[in-house]
Amino acid sequence: MLAIFLKTLPFFALIGLGWAAGRVKFFPAEATAWLTKFVFYFALSAMLFRFAATLPFSDLFDPVFVAAYLSASLTVCLLAFAVARLRALPLEEAAMEAYTAMTGNTGFLGVPMLVVLLGAAAAGPVLMVLCTDMIVFSSILTMVIAAARHGRISLGLLRPLALGLLKNPMITSILAGLTWSVLKIPMPVPLNDFLTLLGAAATPGALFAIGASLADKSAERVRPAVWLSGAKLVLHPLAVAVAALWLFPVDPFAAGVMIAAAALPVAGNVYILSAHYGIARQRVSASILISTAASILTVPVVIAWVTHH
C-alpha cells in the first residue's frame, strides 16, 4: 500500500504545485486557460492518437468491457439522480448531479497516470472508459437538460450534439488513431518520435493544469458535494467492480484498469458543462475540489487493491 501511495504521490504533487501556483496568482487564470488548451489540443491529443494508432482494434473496443462499464455507471447515475429527486431538485439539476457522480477525470489524470502505474496495456481500457464517458453520458446529460427545458428532445438537437463530439480533440484523435490502426498503416519512426515527444508533455502539463484550475474553486454547498464526491470515489468503483468481476466476463487485467479509472475524482469538464448550462455550478465546483483532494488517499487504495488481486 505504501509503495503504491509513493508511486501516485508525484502525480498528486504536480496537481498540488499547480494549485499553489494558481492560489498565489503566480500562475493566473489566463495562463491556466492557455496551458489547458495546449494540453487539450496538442499534447494529450498526440498521446491519445499514438495509443490508438499503435494498439490492435480489439484492444480499443471490447463489447463486454463497454457493457460492464455502462451498466455500472448507469446504476450510479440513476442512484444519484434518485437521491437528487428525493431532495426535490429540478430535473436538470438532478441530471447534473447524476453526471457528476460518475464522470471521472480520465482524460487529464487517468490516461497519464494509469498507463504509467499499470503499464502500456492499460491504454486500451482507459480509452474505452474515456470514450464511453464523453460520447454516451455527456450526450444523455445534454438530452435530459433539453427535455427539461423544452419539454421534448428534437431531432435538431442531434446535429449540434454530434458536431460537438467531433470538435472534441480527444474524440477526434482517438477516432483518427482507430482508423490508422484498422487500416494497419505502419507508423514512421519520425512520426512516432514526434508524437512521443509531444505526448510526453501531456502528463506534467495536464496535472499542473488540474491543480491550477482548482485554485479558484470554492467549497460552497459542502453537504451535497461530499455526497457526490463519495459517490464518485467509492460507489462508482464499487459498482464497476461488481459488474466487471462478477456480472460480466471481463478480462481480469482490463477489469482492474476499469475499476481504477472509475475511482478517479470528478472531471473538470463537468464544471464546464454546468457553467455552460448555468446548473449547480457551486455544487459541481465543490465536488471537483473535494473529490480531487480526497483522491490523494482513495486512488492509491484502489490501485493497490487492483494490483494485488
Cα separation, 260 vs 37, in Å, equals 26
Cα separation, 100 vs 72, in Å, equals 15
- Range with the poorest average pLDDT among 14-23, 148-157, 191-200: 148-157
Is the pLDDT at 250 greater than 80, yes or no? yes
The model's confidence at residue 158, banded by pLDDT at 50, 70 and 90, is low
Question: Residue range 33-43: average pLDDT?
Answer: 92
The model's confidence at residue 153, banded by pLDDT at 50, 70 and 90, is low
Question: Residue range 5-30: average pLDDT?
Answer: 91
Residues facing residue 104 across a β-bridge: 266
pLDDT at 108: 87
Which of 47, 10, 72, 102 has its CA nearest to residue 239? 72
Cα separation, 14 vs 205, in Å, equals 9
pTM (2 d.p.): 0.89
Is the pLDDT at 201 greater than 90, yes or no? yes
* CATH code assigned at 50: 1.20.1530.20
The model's confidence at residue 303, banded by pLDDT at 50, 70 and 90, is very high
**Domain limits at 212?**
2-308
Question: Residue range 10-37: average pLDDT?
Answer: 92
Query: What amino acid is encoded at 108 in this protein?
Result: F
Number of H helices, E strands in the chain: 18, 0
Give φ, ψ of 255 to 5 degrees.
-60, -40
All three cell numbers of 288, joined, read: 471537483
Is the pLDDT at 1 greater than 80, yes or no? no
Cα separation, 264 vs 48, in Å, equals 18
Task: Provide the number of structural domains found in the chain.
Answer: 1
Is the pLDDT at 219 greater than 70, yes or no? no
Residues 53-64 have pLDDT tens digits of 988 887 788 999
Cα separation, 256 vs 133, in Å, equals 18
